[in-house]
Structure 1
Amino acid sequence: MKKLFLSMLCILTTVATHAQNFLEGTALDKTTNEPLEQVAIYFPQLEQGGISNDNGHYRINDLPEGTYNIVASYIGFQTFSQTITIKKGRNTLDFRLYPSAIEMEEVIVSTPFHKLQSENVMKVEFAKIAALKSKGAPTLIEGIGTIPGVDMVSTGIGIGKPVIRGLTSNRVLVYTQGIRLENQQFGAEHGLGVNEAGIESVEVIKGPASLLYGSDAMGGVLYLNPEKFAILNTTEGDLNLDYNTNTQGITSNVGVKSSGDRFKFLARAATINHVDYKAGDGNRVTNSRFNEKDLKMGLGYQATSFKSEIRYNYNQSNLGIPETISTQTTSRTPELPYQKINNHILSSKTKIFFKDSNLDITLGYVGNDRKEFEDHHHHEEHEDEHDHHEEHTTTDDHDEEEHMEAALHMKLNTFTYDIQYHLPKWNKFETIIGAQGIHQSNTNFGEEILIPDAVTNDIGVLGTTHFHLNENNDFQLGFRYDHRNIAGKAYGELGEEGHIPALNRSFNSFNGAFGYKNNISEQFTTRFNIATGFRAPNLAELTSYGSHEGANRFEIGNPDLKNEQNIQFDLALEFKNEHFEFFLNGFYNTITNYIFIAPDGTFINENVVYNYLQENATLYGGEIGFHLHPHPYDWLHIESSYQTVYGELNNGEHLPLIPANNLTNTFRVEFVNEHPWWLNTNAYVTLNTTFKQGKVNVYETVSPGYSLLNAGFGSEVKFLKKSMKINISANNILDKRYISHLSRLKPDGIPNMGRSVSIGVNILL
């Protein structure tokens, strides 16, 4: 007992000693030498920071010994970044920020070394969700689709999935809460499955990221960053309300978060409710309505050498599946056919800090419960109930839904792990080694079977290093090996329609990446990256055998499909000074064994037979743009960007779902007011021009070009001593009737959304 007491005393003494490590200093304006208040000082690797007071002074306690990167940012000033070594006891760092009209840089989380974009070897797009929402997008994926190089495949406005440089579905991986999101994304009619409430920002890796994330990241990664916990020893809350005139959409969310010396907590609840959207011709698209409920919670603990957080997200979505324009109604309850989806996302992130190194452990669980209700099954159920319960003459809608059998009902449970060890920095090398993997099970409960009951196991090992040669030259190199096994159960009777044979396949892949960044001058930066990626065939491609009612075809999978494997070359050029920014991004992507579906000229049950095939493919294109904010009119911003993608098979056929070329021109103004209650104002006008898409697959039709005019206004005011932000945005102001090339409703001639005005209010509580 005495030995145990002495051991515990030694541990507490060690923790107390570590707790004495702190950093303090002063933040100053470089030009005036005046102190700066409310400067955010942050250690990205430690996920710990503080805020400067009215004297510019800051202090950050409980820092572990070691060498870390520190970032200081403040609106209207250039972001400061420096490496600092924390020693025992008191550490000091004073810094001076340069005034700049360039927007603040953010730390990039989706790449392993957590650096500012200007320090990153890999080009990553970053956007604040609040900025995307201020443009009037009714959903998260609509907003993300405005980022250059990113588009979306849509089924109305409630269902959408990302397209990165012409690749989508299982070729693009989505991360949320630090774990991969698995929700049957193989289906074109399956949406993103994440609510924007509680999402702070999004990062987009446009290109193969298999080195970092494994299979399915061959086309890129959408990385959603959750909102941060409150600053140490503070409590805050906010209320957000939005209304959309087109869909009569009502969106609301409320959140609260609090942080003490050790423990942190946050919670946010949200609801979304939309009626059928109105197209540019004035007609509402029947059953495009949807509603959603969302809850996010987080609990964190942080000590000197240990940090951990647990986050949970529950999302329930009811999504109508539009098929035609018929009955005009403003009902908010989806009619048949519709999807009912329940998502549970649980994640745990732990950091253990040693001297000059640290261990990151991320564990995750995603439970996806997907049901689809169809009209013919409803009639069959109704007839059976009528035959057996003739005495019941009326049934309310709720009871009818409770007794209705889902035509399609799948439960997907996914467990993930990600272990990364950041080795001690040696010379100018920063190195990470790690292991990642998933265990996934799919189970069917409905009458229809799209994919069989199956178990998937992944394991991958990786190593990557960043070499900072000097102030102007950086290199990054990495390798990875993955193994995936898919074991599917047999379904149905041999020789009968719908029979799926048992499956047991293994897939292996080696991948690597090399990048080089050169600061040619203080304003001019060039990046070159070459990376490989891979994707193992999914269950639908391997096992399909039966009629696909929505597409009026009979699909036959191919159990002998091989890995898709690609290699992509990226070149990024950037010029940036105080008043002008320019970028040019180009890519060339070759894919071996690209999987696609095509008819073979035969029929089964009067449906055309489609087979899954493989052939090599090529995609290439890029983005170009500029941002002008001329001196002395720093409040004026003129922005323009152009993006293009080409994709074709080796036989000369164009790939399907390739986005049309797009040009976006924006004129915006931003004013910082010194009025006691009117703090700042911004406004913008955007002309978005989508060009004709004539390079189409043989099973697609040409899409004509169109232009959309959008505008918006925002302001921040003081109300009852609290900050309140108001945003008003109008999209498709001229009520243009158009059909996007990536709309799944295009074959039915159903147009996209017409004029919509969104009004949003954010109130700090």
Structure 2
Amino acid sequence: MKKIIITLLLGFSAVLQAQISVSGTVTNGASQPIKGVSVYIGAIQKGTKTDENGKYTLNNLPKNGLSINFTYVGFMSQNIAIKNSEAIQTIDVTLEESIFEMDEVIVSTAFNKIQSQNVMKVEHETIKDLQQKGTSTLIEGLATIPGVSQVSTGTSIGKPVIRGLSGNRVLVYSQGVRMENQQFGDEHGLGLNDAGIESVEVIKGPASLLYGSDALGGVLYFNPEKFADANTFKANLNQKLFSNTLGSNTSLGLKTSTENWKFLARGSYNTHSDYRVSGGDRVTNTRYNETDFKTAAGYSNARFSTVLRYNYNNLDLGLPEDGIGAQSSSKNTALPRQAVSNHLLSLNSIIYFTNTKLDVDLGYVTNDRSEFEDSDEASLQMKLKTFNYNAKYHLPKMGNLETILGVQGMHQTNTNFGEELLIPDATTNDFGIFGTANYEWGSSSALQAGLRFDNRKISSEVNGEVGEEGYFQAVDKSFDSFNAALGYKTDLATNFTMRLNLASGFRAPNLAELTSNGVHEGTNRYEIGNSELKTEQNFQTDLNLEYKTDHFEFFVNGFYNHIDNYIYTAPAGTIIDDNAVFNYIQSNAKLYGGEVGLHFHPHPLDWLHYETAFESVTAKKQDGDYLPLIPANNWNNTFRGEFDNKDWLTSGFATINISTTLSQDNVSGFETRSAGYTLVNLGLGGTVKFGKTVFDVNLNANNLFDKEYNAHLSRLKTDGIANIGRNVVLGINFSI
């Protein structure tokens, strides 16, 4: 570690280069200036907006391979490279009108291209758009993205599922750091609050080339809130109210920036009572309370950029045990309950050399998870501490060829403090090294390839007595894996794009799979681990076809995913302490399916949008049986009207969403089928002006007709407990 610090310090002292200043004018197709265009450089997290004459200026920029992103609602985004050879330069931009979504820069992939240039198809959604759907939690919003769903326990606990894979097969990144919070358990949620998050990017498929073990199924990459534009101060207050849970979500944020320094802070509090099912009854002890605080400070100049971020999240949540029992609107959790606190500290630094740069992410995550069964003394308490590092060196660009070499790793310890043990005390060490290259030719073709090697070492301590519940044998295992990825993008015809990606991924067995010996919370079964489990290894083929014109957009995503040594639980046919025994075993498996959809904007009805998407996943083991916890097929339809009144309302919208989930009959041996259902959701909102007072408002009615239904991935389904009934959500956001 000392050598790394010394190298970084020497790098700072060695970098001597002139700064760059860029200015220009942004106009529309009629050569009229556009006011309020976002002019942003993501690499150094610095931006500004155009004035009433469409002019902008950015000073004190590094002289190395930066790109400026120009975005404005209703226009196509542009991503333009800054010339390294000119200290003072002018970049004038003409934006073309577009009724479809803005083309965002994708951060989760190595080369940070805008999506239209990206070889890999990545879903990008802003948190603002997800919040306008009126969902109660971050994971509920994510589950509205095609190909993404959730394993849920009421409204308080949700785990992401990407194309049928979840748990340790899906990585979650926040602030550029992988979140580690015992994600192997279905009863363990994300540990993230949507306040202070700008957007989310979803990689649907193996991303082990960039992220190592556990990215076998995909990645959720959360981009933090942007800093204020240079030489500005901003503050905002957001308040949301929820009828079903009598809930409230309050968030207050402050941020300011100079030419070089930037700072922000945001605090939020989220509190909910037991959720109500269709008909009026509440599900006892599904209440929860959440406190979240985020802060960040950054500095950038012509030689380097650095950002330090910190996130504290504390969650107090009840665990439903009696189903619909004693009715209460209290927000104080009862027993049994969980208390989970997360601390996430991250440091991102970029050092700019003459023709290259070094990008370093360091992260430290602590997760303290306690469970209280029948008293205020924790019966189970686990503390997980994780240190992450990720360094990427961008080699000098050779013509149209960009190359990155990287090293990545993790040191993690798990320590138990309660009387009960879910997993043993253990240490995990990861190390990986990779290289990837991107080559572009013509105006629309690109090829991207990479290779990576990883090693994971897991060692745990022995605990308990042989033959007794709670006995964990000592484990000392090492897992190696080579992985590769190859992607190709091209325009088959005008407005018609194809992306083809081939990639492998891997996942080392987790501690629960290797060492389990007891009844896990919420499973109602006795699980026995297998220390001889092998590494899961997969190979996936992805095909994306997109056709887009001014008024019509159509896409098809198809995938085939073959997994060797897929790990799952199977009944042993025996009983221990009145619980059925399940063993961890392995078999080859295959998953296939995809998403298809269109967005239609009929002319001359310029205010009307129609969007539809269908998603499907089929997952089978080698013997032909189906895999468990696979989401049902879904067909989602949205009609959206947009309107403005220049005197008092801008960006107004009204939506009706009809989401049809088909029956899930393809179930594993110990699952039950789930009936289909249709939910209707309404939304209304916009930016309201009263004199000098301006605020955003949205009103949503989810499950409008109070439909009673059981989602297939609900952990309460086996107890006959339905999902949430009608929920009216009011959200107001004041900005100054």
Contact between 1:408 and 1:448, CA under 8 Å: does it hold in 2? yes
1:66 counterpart SS class = coil
Structure 1 unpaired stretches of 5+ = 1-10, 379-403
Contact between 1:206 and 1:220, CA under 8 Å: does it hold in 2? yes
Q: Whole-Å Cα distance in 2 between the matches of residues 515 and 45 of structure 1?
A: 24
**Within 5 Å, which residues of 2 pair with 1:410-425?**
410-425=382-397
The superposition leaves residues 486-531 of structure 1 with CA deviations (integer Å, 9 ceiling, x where unpaired) of 0100001233332111110000000010000011233110000010
Contact between 2:71 and 2:78, CA under 8 Å: does it hold in 1? yes
Residue 180 of structure 1 pairs with residue 178 of structure 2: yes
Q: How does the TM-score come out when normalised to structure 1? A: 0.93
Residue 601 of structure 1 pairs with residue 573 of structure 2: yes
Match of 1:7 in 2: none
**Within 5 Å, which residues of 2 pair with 1:258-407?**
258-323=256-321, 324-375=323-374, 378=375, 404-407=376-379
Match of 2:5 in 1: none
Contact between 1:63 and 1:86, CA under 8 Å: does it hold in 2? no
Contact between 1:64 and 1:355, CA under 8 Å: does it hold in 2? no
Letter of the aligned partner of 1:449 in structure 2?
L
The superposition leaves residues 631-685 of structure 1 with CA deviations (integer Å, 9 ceiling, x where unpaired) of 222221001000000001011110001000000110001123322x322311100
When the two chains are superposed, the root-mean-square deviation of aligned CA atoms in Å is 1.4
Post-superposition shift, 1:609?
Answer: 1.8
Contact between 2:46 and 2:230, CA under 8 Å: does it hold in 1? no
Post-superposition shift, 1:28?
Answer: 1.2
Match of 1:484 in 2: 456
Q: Whole-Å Cα distance in 1 between the matches of residues 410 and 631 of structure 2?
A: 32
Match of 1:386 in 2: none
Match of 1:382 in 2: none
Residue 631 of structure 1 pairs with residue 630 of structure 2: no
1:167 counterpart SS class = coil
Residue 693 of structure 1 pairs with residue 691 of structure 2: no
**Within 5 Å, which residues of 2 pair with 1:570-649?**
570-649=542-621
Match of 1:762 in 2: 733
Post-superposition shift, 1:739?
Answer: 0.4
Moved more, 436-445 or 316-325: 316-325
Match of 2:526 in 1: 554
Letter of the aligned partner of 2:439 in structure 1?
F
Distance 1:726 1:22, change over 3 A: same
Q: Whole-Å Cα distance in 2 between the matches of residues 12 and 453 of structure 1?
A: 43
Q: Whole-Å Cα distance in 1 between the matches of residues 291 and 249 of structure 2?
A: 10
Count of aligned residue pairs for this structure pair: 724
Match of 1:391 in 2: none
Post-superposition shift, 1:261?
Answer: 2.2
Moved more, 298-307 or 38-47: 38-47
The superposition leaves residues 404-436 of structure 1 with CA deviations (integer Å, 9 ceiling, x where unpaired) of 320110000000000000111112111110100
Q: Whole-Å Cα distance in 1 between the matches of residues 549 and 522 of structure 2?
A: 52
Contact between 1:472 and 1:520, CA under 8 Å: does it hold in 2? no
Contact between 1:553 and 1:607, CA under 8 Å: does it hold in 2? yes
Q: Whole-Å Cα distance in 2 between the matches of residues 310 and 531 of structure 1?
A: 33
Moved more, 549-558 or 328-337: 549-558
Q: Whole-Å Cα distance in 2 between the matches of residues 633 and 521 of structure 1?
A: 27
Match of 1:225 in 2: 223
Q: Whole-Å Cα distance in 1 between the matches of residues 144 and 178 of structure 2?
A: 23
Match of 2:235 in 1: 237
Q: Which aligned runs of 4 or more in structure 1 are off by greater than 4 angstroms?
A: 11-15
**Within 5 Å, which residues of 2 pair with 1:25-64?**
25-30=24-29, 32-64=30-62
Q: Whole-Å Cα distance in 2 between the matches of residues 110 and 363 of structure 1?
A: 16
Q: Whole-Å Cα distance in 1 between the matches of residues 65 and 526 of structure 2?
A: 60
Letter of the aligned partner of 1:278 in structure 2?
R
Letter of the aligned partner of 1:357 in structure 2?
T
**Between the two proteins, what is the percent identity of the paired residues?**
53
Match of 2:700 in 1: 729
Letter of the aligned partner of 1:164 in structure 2?
I
The superposition leaves residues 180-216 of structure 1 with CA deviations (integer Å, 9 ceiling, x where unpaired) of 0000001110111101110110110000000010000
1:62 counterpart SS class = strand
**Within 5 Å, which residues of 2 pair with 1:66-81?**
66-81=64-79
The superposition leaves residues 346-397 of structure 1 with CA deviations (integer Å, 9 ceiling, x where unpaired) of 000001111221100100001000000012xx3xxxxxxxxxxxxxxxxxxx
1:542 counterpart SS class = helix
**Within 5 Å, which residues of 2 pair with 1:89-100?**
89-100=87-98
Q: Whole-Å Cα distance in 2 between the matches of residues 570 and 88 of structure 1?
A: 41
Match of 1:248 among 246, 249, 256: 246
Q: Whole-Å Cα distance in 1 between the matches of residues 619 and 650 of structure 2?
A: 48
Post-superposition shift, 1:12?
Answer: 11
Residue 742 of structure 1 pairs with residue 713 of structure 2: yes
Post-superposition shift, 1:602?
Answer: 2.1
Distance 1:182 1:686, change over 3 A: same
Post-superposition shift, 1:606?
Answer: 3.5
Match of 1:709 in 2: 680
Contact between 2:45 and 2:227, CA under 8 Å: does it hold in 1? no
Q: Whole-Å Cα distance in 2 between the matches of residues 67 and 211 of structure 1?
A: 23
Post-superposition shift, 1:471?
Answer: 1.0
Post-superposition shift, 1:549?
Answer: 5.6
Moved more, 100-109 or 572-581: 100-109
Q: Whole-Å Cα distance in 2 between the matches of residues 365 and 522 of structure 1?
A: 47
Q: Whole-Å Cα distance in 2 between the matches of residues 627 and 495 of structure 1?
A: 60
Contact between 1:340 and 1:372, CA under 8 Å: does it hold in 2? yes
Match of 2:3 in 1: none
The superposition leaves residues 138-188 of structure 1 with CA deviations (integer Å, 9 ceiling, x where unpaired) of 000000000000000000000001000000000000000100000000111
Distance 1:105 1:132, change over 3 A: same
Q: Whole-Å Cα distance in 2 between the matches of residues 605 and 631 of structure 1?
A: 67
Q: How does the TM-score come out when normalised to structure 2? A: 0.97
Residue 129 of structure 1 pairs with residue 165 of structure 2: no
Match of 2:481 among 499, 509, 514: 509
Q: Whole-Å Cα distance in 1 between the matches of residues 442 and 66 of structure 2?
A: 18
Q: Whole-Å Cα distance in 2 between the matches of residues 108 and 712 of structure 1?
A: 28
Match of 1:674 in 2: 646
2:82 counterpart SS class = strand
Match of 1:433 in 2: 405
Distance 1:308 1:288, change over 3 A: same
The superposition leaves residues 521-550 of structure 1 with CA deviations (integer Å, 9 ceiling, x where unpaired) of 331100000100000000000001123363
Q: Whole-Å Cα distance in 1 between the matches of residues 688 and 524 of structure 2?
A: 55
Distance 1:67 1:177, change over 3 A: closer
2:61 counterpart SS class = coil
Match of 1:103 in 2: 101
Q: Whole-Å Cα distance in 2 between the matches of residues 418 and 13 of structure 1?
A: 22
Q: Whole-Å Cα distance in 2 between the matches of residues 586 and 422 of structure 1?
A: 32
Q: Whole-Å Cα distance in 2 between the matches of residues 577 and 672 of structure 1?
A: 24
Contact between 1:29 and 1:35, CA under 8 Å: does it hold in 2? yes
Q: Whole-Å Cα distance in 2 between the matches of residues 632 and 337 of structure 1?
A: 58
Contact between 1:601 and 1:609, CA under 8 Å: does it hold in 2? yes
Post-superposition shift, 1:472?
Answer: 2.3
Match of 1:153 among 145, 151, 154: 151
Letter of the aligned partner of 1:295 in structure 2?
F
1:591 counterpart SS class = strand
Residue 753 of structure 1 pairs with residue 699 of structure 2: no
